[in-house]
Amino acid sequence: MRLQGIPKAKIAEELGIQDVGRLKIWMRKYREQGNFGLMEHRGRRKEYKDLEREVKRLRLENDVLKKWLEILAR
């Protein structure tokens, strides 16, 4: 809508958003990060880091097991 030249205040009114400032923030986040910028991130950062570590650990474990199987097959 904004790309069509409609003012932010009009967009906020049509969508039932009372705080035009909040709409500006959402628009900036979307412009900079796309859909990811509009996702809820509170309280999840630690969980994501832990999952990344777990994935790395499991990949390493798989690599070691594959090498072990190669050695046993010889």
Residue with tokens 């594959």: 66
Is residue 3 predicted with pLDDT exceeding 90?
no
Measured CA to CA, the distance from residue 28 to residue 34 in angstroms comes to 9
pLDDT in tens, 36-59: 788 776 665 666 667 788 889 899
Q: What is the pTM of this model?
A: 0.48
- Cβ atoms within 10 Å of 26's Cβ, excluding its own: 13
* Single-letter amino acid, residue 46: K
